[in-house]
Amino acid sequence: MERRTYSAKASDVTRKWFVVDAEGKTLGRLASAIAATIRGKNKPIYTPHADTGDFVIVINAEKVKVTGNKEKQKMYYRHSGYPGGLKTTSLQAVRAMHPERIIEDAVRGMIPRTTLGKAQLRKLKVFVGSEHPHGAQNPAALEIDDTAARW
């Protein structure tokens, strides 16, 4: 009997839409569940070199929770490319100006830095507030277990 490794093709993939309410969810646990969903790792047809993931809509991005003192201590860095051009911004300041970037940056850090990763990241839609323009896709609720592992 000959066995072959299954490799998903673009025609085999059916994409679903999910909506996640970020209110009260811990940032890292939320981001890892979202990253797995947009990559397709929760599907049996997952293929590392093909985009098998689903679309994820995140609402209430401004209400995501962080643990400890991260609100003041966590910093976001960017560099202009010039000497002395390092800019730092605290999570508190990012939440005040662009709260959707908190979730986008956390998920981006969990996606491969390739063209496939960029394509997968386009399936993430993050919104401030509880309204989103993707109601026509009839998104299903994505349940995320936010309890800490206790062992």
pLDDT per residue, tens digit, the chain (151 aa), is 788 888 999 898 999 999 999 999 999 999 999 999 999 999 999 999 999 999 999 999 999 999 999 999 999 999 999 999 999 999 999 999 999 999 999 999 999 999 999 999 999 999 999 999 999 999 999 988 877 655 5
- Domain assignment present for 88: no
Residue 147 belongs to a domain: no
User: What is the structure's pLDDT at 18?
Assistant: 97
pLDDT of residue 149: 58
| Position 29 in a domain | yes
- Asked whether residue 92 is assigned to any structural domain, the reply reads no
Tell me the C-alpha to C-alpha distance, in Å, between residue 48 and each of 13, 27, 70, 112: 13, 25, 33, 10
Q: Pick from 23, 10, 94: which is nearest to 58 by CA?
A: 23
Domain with residue 58: its CATH number is 3.90.1180.10
Residue-number span of the structural domain to which 134 is assigned: 15-65+100-141
Is 9 within a domain? no
pTM above 0.75, yes or no: yes
Task: Please compute Rg for the chain using Cα positions.
Answer: 17
Write down the pLDDT at residue 150. 52
Distance CA 34, CA 54 (A): 10
Residue 59 covered by a domain? yes
User: How many structural domains compose the chain?
Assistant: 1
